[in-house]
Amino acid sequence: MTLGLILFKTKRFEEALKYFLKATEIKPDDAEYLNLLGQTYDQLGDPKIAEKCLKKAIKADQNYAVGYYDLGVVLAKDKERQKEAARCFNLAIELEPDLEWPYYSLACLYNLAGKKLKALEYLKLSLEKGLHNRAYIDADHDLDSLREEPRFKKLMNEYFGDKLGGGKKRKSRQGK
């Protein structure tokens, strides 16, 4: 399992898949293993199998916030399913209020829907919860229409100072 995680984190998804498949053979109802399998299928470009695995993870543990978040990520890629994705992100927040990535994902969805104030509200919440990956935010095209907003610039300055950091220091659970 550890090797599978290392391979996943180094973007060697096909190799990681073998380890996660083996892990789910050994423990077919382990929510974390099913979730990792789903994430891997998503990275390999198979959203249908990813969704199936992620739903199995949630079924195995209905309180698994990360599973709802990851399912939301898969669903959000389909414009027709973004409301379902938002429900998943909200469930993740309900289950684990300090998980920063669902707030960030909701910020993106609100911005894509043209709801800039709501997007900024959720972006701020994600930063308050610990999101600290400025490079990720800068590269995310879902936020492009916010970049010239004074409130967006103020938030970025407050939390990051400049592109090299320097704003409030926050810890993060993930380095996405």
pLDDT for position 162: 61
Segment 12-56, tens digit of pLDDT: 999 999 999 999 999 999 999 999 999 999 999 999 999 999 999
List the one residue out of 144, 147, 152 whose CA is nearest residue 122: 152
Is residue 173 predicted with pLDDT exceeding 70?
no
pTM: 0.89
Structural domain including 48 reads 2-97
Check whether 169 has a pLDDT greater than 50. no
Same domain, 161 and 127: yes
pLDDT single digits (tens) 80-111? 999 999 999 999 999 999 999 999 999 999 99
Residue 106 lies in a domain: no
Tokens of 60: 């195995």
Neighbour count for residue 1 (Cβ, 10 Å): 15
CATH number for the domain harbouring residue 88: 1.25.40.10
Domain limit, last residue, from 66, 97, 128 = 97
Query: Quick one: how many helices (H) and strands (E) in the chain?
Result: 10, 0
Domain tally for the chain?
2
Same-domain pairing of 62 and 14 = yes
